[in-house]
Each structure stands twice: as structure tokens, then as C-alpha cells.
Amino acid sequence: MVWSVLALLLGACATTRASRERGNWRTLGTSVEGRPLRVAQFGHGPRRVLLVGGIHGDEREGRLVAQELPGALLATPGAAARVTLTVLEDANPDGTARGVRHNARRVDLNRNYPAANFTPAADRGRRPLDQPEARLLHDLILRERPELVIVVHSWRGDHFINFDGPGAAIAAAFARRSGYRVKASDDIAPTPGSLGSWVGGTLGVPILTLEFQRGREAWAAWFETKAALLGAVVGD
């Protein structure tokens, strides 16, 4: 009987591990207009990292990162045993469908978090987390407790790696590997209620905001940052 139970437990662990190697995509919840927010985990290591493939619907230059990074991680010897990578494919599918920055309620989902600098406004929400997409990502972060969060954006006329919280060393290593310069949030216009302000400032968790150049070809953006992304995820 004992051996049967152990066999079942080991089999369940093996199944879970195998599903993470393939990517066990599931629906985390839905957007305002009912589009799914899909999430998956890859690897089975103790280091926990969250990648958000996009939060502004008109900033999709880095869309391939969410598709390609899991495979690159699993192809790196030993990486899957070191890291559990959680990928949220797209935090704003309604905005992506329209090619616009905001969600279907015209709220900037990167201004709807319970950071100390949140202020209500028509394009930020009346209160933090009053948008379902922001609330789903907020709850995912609290549940997964990542050691690092990476979010993909794009910027007009420039490309760089931005950080909030205790992420300076990680951003510097990213810059060395990619050639992207580092920009701290203090060097950019204020972002009240942003994901970076909440994760980095309130939670004290390192968060990198990867800003591709707006209009950059997606494959070129991926290849020029692949090594830097892997280094940040694995912790090298």
C-alpha cells in the first residue's frame, strides 16, 4: 500500500514536471470583453521569475519574447532545474486586439496598481485594481511570489532597460549582455500607479521593464536581447 501511494505521488510529480517542460497553458481569467489572459509555467527550479509579455496593446514589438523565452530556457542545460518561469502571455488582450494602449474601458492598465503614488483619474481608474486585467496580474504576483518580474514594453525613438526596486545590479548585467542602456525610473516621467511602482516600491521586488524601440522588427528585438533575458531569468 505504501509503495503504491509513493508510486502515485512520484507519477504525479513527473506529470507536473513534464507539463512544465511543454508549457501547461491555462486561462488565468478574462478581460473586460471576455478575452482570455493565458498563463503557463516552465521549469521546476526554486528561483521564481514572472514574465509579462505586454501590458499596452500598441506596444507589441516584444511579443515574441513570451513565445520564445520558455523554449530558450528549457534548451539551456540545467536551467529548468534552477528556475520556475511563469509567463503571462498578454495582460491586455483587448488593447492588443484594437492596437491601442488602454483596455476596453480606456484605462491604462499600467497605472491601476496599489502603489503609494497612485492617484485616481479617468485613464487610471477610480481606485487601484478596479480593472479585471490589473487585478488578475496583481493576484498572480501575490500568489507566485516571484524573485524577479520582467515586463515587455516599447518606447518611441529609443530602447533601454528600466528597473524599479532593488533591480539595479540585474539591469546592469542585462545592459552588458544586450547593449541596451540602463534607465532608472527616476530618469523617466512619473508613472503613478504603475506596475513597477507597486512591485518595486511597495513589494520591494526587483522588476525590469524592457523597452524595445517602437517599430523594431520583432525577431530582431528578440535576438538582440535573448542572452540578456536568459541571464536575468536564470540569475547569472
Q: What is the pLDDT of residues 138-156, one digit of tens each?
A: 999 999 999 999 999 999 9
- The model's confidence at residue 92, banded by pLDDT at 50, 70 and 90, is very high
Residue tagged 501547461 (cell numbers): 24
For residue range 166-196, list pLDDT tens digits in order: 999 999 999 999 999 998 777 787 899 999 9
Closest residue by Cα to residue 30 from 84, 85, 86, 97: 97
For residue range 53-71, list pLDDT tens digits in order: 999 999 988 889 999 999 9
Q: Between residues 6 and 55, which one has the greater pLDDT?
A: 55
As a whole number, mean pLDDT of residues 2-11 equals 38
For residue 21, the model assigns a pLDDT of 54
- The model's confidence at residue 114, banded by pLDDT at 50, 70 and 90, is very high
Could you tell me the strand order of the sheet in which 148-155 lies? 26-30, 36-42, 83-88, 47-52, 148-155, 207-213, 160-164, 181-184
Extents of the domains making up the chain: 25-234
pTM: 0.90
For residue range 204-234, list pLDDT tens digits in order: 999 999 999 999 999 999 999 999 999 999 9
- Interior/surface letters 13-27, b for 16+ CB within 10 angstroms, e for the rest: eeeeeeebeeeeeee
- Helix 63-75 to helix 218-234 angle (10° resolution) is 50
**What whole-number distance in Å separates Cα of residue 30 and Cα of residue 28?**
7
**What whole-number distance in Å separates Cα of residue 222 and Cα of residue 152?**
11
Query: Which residues have CB under 8 Å from 79's CB, separation 6+?
Result: 43, 45, 73, 230, 233, 234
Q: What share of the chain is helix, strand, coil (3-state, %, to 5)?
A: 40, 20, 40
Number of Cβ within a 10 Å radius of residue 117:
15
Indicate if the pLDDT at residue 3 is higher than 70.
no
Closest residue by Cα to residue 41 from 13, 59, 17: 17
CATH of domain 25-234: 3.40.630.10
Query: Which residues have CB under 8 Å from 81's CB, separation 6+?
Result: 43, 44, 45
pLDDT, the chain, mean: 91
As a whole number, mean pLDDT of residues 26-48 equals 98
- The model's confidence at residue 111, banded by pLDDT at 50, 70 and 90, is very high
Indicate if the pLDDT at residue 15 is higher than 60.
no
As a whole number, mean pLDDT of residues 20-31 equals 81
Dihedral (Cα; 35, 26, 66, 101), 10-degree rounding: 20
Closest residue by Cα to residue 202 from 118, 110, 134, 87: 118
Three-point CA angle 14, 136, 13, nearest 5°? 5
Are 160 and 61 a contacting pair, CB within 8 Å?
no
Indicate if the pLDDT at residue 9 is higher than 70.
no
- The model's confidence at residue 22, banded by pLDDT at 50, 70 and 90, is low
- The model's confidence at residue 236, banded by pLDDT at 50, 70 and 90, is confident
> How do 36-42 and 83-88 pair as beta strands?
antiparallel
Minimum mean pLDDT among 6-20, 85-99, 139-153: which range?
6-20
